[in-house]
Amino acid sequence: MYGGNVDITSRKNLEKNHGIQSALLTTSVSTLLKMILWNLTNAVIQAVAIFNCLNHKEGG
C-alpha cells in the first residue's frame, strides 16, 4: 500500500514539474520570437532609412 501512495505522489509531482517546464519553455520561446521579430523589424527600418539616404545623396 505504501509503495503505491509514494508512486502516485511522485507521479503528480513529475506532472506538475513537467507542466511548469513546458510553460516556461513556451514563454521563453515566445519571448525569443518577439525579440527576433523586433530586431528584424528594426533592421528593415534601418536598411530602408539608409537606402533612402543613399538615394537622396545620389539624386541630389
Q: What is the pTM of this model?
A: 0.53
Range of the domain at 45: 1-59
Could you tell me the three cell numbers for 1? 500500500
For 12-58, how does the pLDDT look when each residue is reduced to its tens digit (9 = 90+)?
888 888 888 888 888 899 999 999 999 999 999 999 999 999 988 77
Could you tell me the three cell numbers for 22? 513546458
Which single residue is written with the C-alpha cell 513556451?
26
Q: How far is residue 17's CA from residue 24's CA, in Å, rounded to a whole number? A: 10
Which single residue is written with the C-alpha cell 533612402?
52
Looking at residue 34, what is its pLDDT? Answer: 96
For 3-14, how does the pLDDT look when each residue is reduced to its tens digit (9 = 90+)?
567 788 888 888
Q: How far is residue 60's CA from residue 58's CA, in Å, rounded to a whole number? A: 6
Does position 60 have pLDDT exceeding 60, yes or no?
no
